Amino acid sequence: MRFKSFVAACGLLFAGLQVASAQDGYLDWAEANGLAGPFAEPDADLDTDGITNLMAYAFDIAPVNDPDAWEKVPSLAFIGDPPEPVMTFVLPREIPRDVSYVVELVKKDGKRVEIARKNGRGPWKGTAEVFRRKLEDGCTEISVEAPLDMPIPEGESPLRLRVEFLP
């Protein structure tokens, strides 16, 4: 059985990928992209690019060898004087209903505090400033800034984006 899964997964490298709609859900997306067995697990990363299947699904990225993948994943920038961290990412035209997008502030002690959350197609909630900009292709660019009353720890990545399945 594992050999069949491996052969199916390797076939992805050469075959054109079929994209399932976000309305269909993660399992349908995985099947439409030829992922089976352990390669269909949300935490799997078949092409070892650092983007798990769940992140690929949440950001409309092909799970194997997507040339535009790194343009679609979240980025962190420091803007202003003094520089404040801003997390920016693009949500697909059709936001999956079965995932949550969670932005966290990483404190000095390493603990994380949730500052923004979007459950499926619902509204953003939390204490962060969330800015939206509709793009020409129908996608939405999101920028998240930490609340002004929260101290920002020094370091390379004070903001973190986590994607999780909705309960």
* pLDDT tens per residue across span 127-142: 999 999 999 999 999 9
CATH number listed for the domain at residues 74-165: 2.60.40
Q: What string of DSSP letters covers 101-131?
A: EEEEEEPTTS-EEEEEEEETTS-EESSSEEE
Once rounded to an integer, what is the mean pLDDT over residues 99-103? Answer: 96
Supply the pLDDT for residue 6.
Answer: 36
pTM: 0.79
Stronger pLDDT, 106 or 16, i.e. the higher one: 106
> Is the N-terminal amide bond of 63 cis, ω within 30° of 0?
no
Joined together, the tokens standing for residue 92 give 């697909």
Domain ranges of the chain: 2-70, 74-165
pLDDT band at 16 (very low <50, low <70, confident <90, very high): very low
